[in-house]
Amino acid sequence: MTQTTFVRLRALGASFLLVLSLGACGQRATALPPAPTAALAANIGITSEIIERSTAGAPRAGELAPDFSYTMADGSAIKLSDLRGRPVIVNFWATWCLPCREEMPALDRALRDHPELVVLAINRNETVEAINRFSGEVVLSFPLIANIRGDIGDRYGVNTLPQTYFINQDGIVHDHHIGTLDAAQIVEKVEAMR
């Protein structure tokens, strides 16, 4: 075998492995998330279901936010629609996403400055264990919600992280932001919902 043939075969093999690995990345875990346990941090929730299953695409400003439910470690089950009467920030994030990590303190500050606000951080496709490890690194006053199946992000049209929806007290999407938010942007968007 000539060196040129060997190099071509090696490149072909590497390309084949790349195609296989990319195909595997697109597959979703189908296992249901584990039930909450006492070992979980108190601020980690696990999604139960997405209640609104419409395939009309990502919700737009002026539309009703798709409903979903989650269960906290203490066993309390909450639906997004249960939070009507209060403005809600729904933030999609992942532990591996550096911009997501960078905006978390700004979200926490907004929550402290606006006690009527609710912040829900929906993790995109990671295990409860990964989220639990992350929660040990930061102090946040809002729940980190595991959505292992990723169905909430799918319903909200999330294909890049971070993404944030601002939902007014009537459950209507007020604004949608793709990318990192700083504290001033968050305050501006929260105050615009009033």
The pLDDT-based confidence of 194 (bands split at 50, 70, 90) is confident
Min mean pLDDT across 41-45, 82-86, 95-99 is at 41-45
Residue 152: name the closest of 45, 78, 69, 32 by CA. 69
The pLDDT-based confidence of 95 (bands split at 50, 70, 90) is very high
Quote the distance between the C-alpha of residue 64 and its chain's center: 19
Higher pLDDT, 1 or 152: 152
Average pLDDT of the chain is 80
Do β-strands 144-147 and 44-50 pair in parallel, antiparallel, or remain unpaired? parallel
Distance between CA 142 and CA 161 in Å, rounded? 18
CB-CB contact of 53 with 83 (8 Å): no
* 57-to-81, 122, 148, 190 alpha-carbon distances in Å: 19, 18, 20, 24
Domain borders along the chain are: 1-30, 44-192
10-35 mean pLDDT: 37
pTM confidence score: 0.75
The pLDDT-based confidence of 13 (bands split at 50, 70, 90) is very low
Distance between CA 30 and CA 148 in Å, rounded? 8
Residue 66 has pLDDT above 90, yes or no: yes
For domain 44-192, give the CATH superfamily.
Glutaredoxin (3.40.30.10)
The pLDDT-based confidence of 1 (bands split at 50, 70, 90) is low
